[in-house]
Structure 1
């Protein structure tokens, strides 16, 4: 296999939920690899700030299209502006925490809409164009919590388990059209969204002890897996969930 098998230069990638955190880091990796990247989030202001930042890495290759990935009509409107997509990264997600007896129904519904419905809606619409072109890569950001449960996040774990099975189902429907659908399941990663947890010495000690690698993940740790799944190098990999977790799911 030559280095050209990993080449995504000129491919158009859409990354949902990419105005901050892991989504922006994934988008950065795609820009640095030569892709044309479309950022997405609901709020235009932070999205434009992220676009301006990443455009410095690939002038003229970064756009921002704001739309709500949980709203069917808005998804269709936004994707019409985005245009044909070669690589879709379904990253948009949210977290809500409460013990199960106290978990509000509204929070459960919001988790299902953002973490599962959005993947279904955006992937369905994007896959139609991919089928016409006979190729495409769909990557879903799952979580170590799709495999392992913790107190106070049962509904979140359920959503991430659901997207893992959605990935398998989409593979069953789309693989014959030349479309690869896979998931990346990060472990515990240090981002601006997890700063409070990183700052909690007791929790960080637990992460470092529980993870064989002995540390929090850094967003750069996701780049290699993302670029492999986005490139022709992974054309016979389909329906899989790749855990990038420092070994957490490998040990008791």
Structure 2
């Protein structure tokens, strides 16, 4: 088969820096109100995108009437007048709310489209496997896997006919490893890795790239128990080749790569951001 016979949509020719420009794009994020997700939301705004944050219903508004998480995004310097940031209510453990999340966000989009979806919301529950409560298992699987599936499916229904879009699913080191006392979390994150590949297989031909990011050990509130355990903290820290735990800001670059034209020929991948942990 000659190159002229291969049906494809080539990456537009642009400057290297221009590949990361998200002006005119709209992004929807779950888990974007703190930690890694908040850093990703700021990065998207810095690159020129309008950002819609999914937030838990009932969260108290700030003095300006907006969700406190919007402050870091609206504070980004040199924003274009076309950038409009907002929030949409969604409790990820309530699957009925998740099922309508994409359409409600779409109605708020300043461009009338959603170009980027970032599934960063997640929860953790730790118990020995012999004592792991069924209710905790169901909650972790619903938030960390089923909500990702439902939002990705809704995004695909919008993006595939438009022949453009980026979906970024957050996995974990436990996408690849089993962990200890976290069977539900490991099961969900392992499945997120496979879901990312499955959706990529179907949607890449429609110019929709589905990828993931797998964080290593990051200093966020989800790891409070590990950070507070001197023995585990030492054991983990000694194994990280980079010599430190990660910071949420370490995800700004990888997120922009996967959200932009810079990754136009990358799909079905799980980008590990772990200071070298998985290479040991």
| TM score, norm. by length of structure 1 | 0.93
Q: CA deviation at 1:215?
A: 0.7
Distance apart, 1:13 and its partner CA: 0.5
Q: Segments of 4+ in structure 1 off by > 4 A? A: none
Look up the match of 1:179: 208
Q: Output the CA distance in 1 between the equivalents of 2:189 and 2:177.
A: 10
Instruction: Measure how far apart 1:143 and its partner are.
Output: 0.2
Out of 176, 187, 197, the residue aligned to residue 158 of structure 1 is 187
Q: What does residue 80 of structure 1 align with? A: 103
Deviation at 1:89, TM superposition (A): 0.3
The CA distance in 1 between the partners of 2:237 and 2:99, in whole Å, is 43
* 2:165 paired with 1:142: no
Q: 1:77 to 1:156 in 2, by over 3 A?
A: closer
Question: Could you list the per-position Cα deviations for residues 106-161 of structure 1 after superposition, in whole angstroms to 9, with x for gaps in the alignment?
Answer: 11111110000011100111111111211000000000111122221122111100
State which of 120, 131, 139 in structure 2 corresponds to 1:110. Answer: 139
Within-5 A mapping of 1:1-252: 2-45=16-59, 48-57=67-76, 58=79, 61-83=84-106, 84-251=113-280
Question: Cα RMSD over matched residues?
Answer: 1.8
Work out the CA distance in 1 between the residues paired with 2:58 and 2:103: 17
Asked whether the equivalents of residues 174 and 180 of structure 1 are also in contact (C-alpha less than 8 Å), the reply is yes
Q: Does the 8 Å CA contact 1:31/1:61 hold for their aligned counterparts? A: no
Q: Distance in 2 between matches of 1:72 and 1:196?
A: 28
Cα distance in 1 for partners of 2:134, 2:100 equals: 29
| Cα distance, 1:35 vs structure 2 | 0.9
Q: Return the alpha-carbon distance in structure 2 between the equivalents of residues 46 and 246 of structure 1.
A: 36
Larger Rg: 2
CA deviation after TM superposition for structure 1 residue 24, in Å: 1.3
Change (3 A) 1:108 1:196: closer
- Structure having the larger proportion of residues in helix: 1
Q: Give the aligned length.
A: 251
Query: For the Cα contact (< 8 Å) 1:67–1:74, is it kept in 2?
Result: yes
Where does structure 2 lack aligned partners over 5 or more consecutive residues? 1-14, 62-66, 107-112
2:218 aligns to what SS in structure 1? Answer: coil
Query: How big is the shift at 1:76?
Result: 4.2
Unaligned runs of 5+ in 1: none
What is the Cα deviation at residue 71 of structure 1?
4.1
TM-score, normalising length: structure 2: 0.84
Structure 1 distance, partners of 2:58, 2:45, is 20
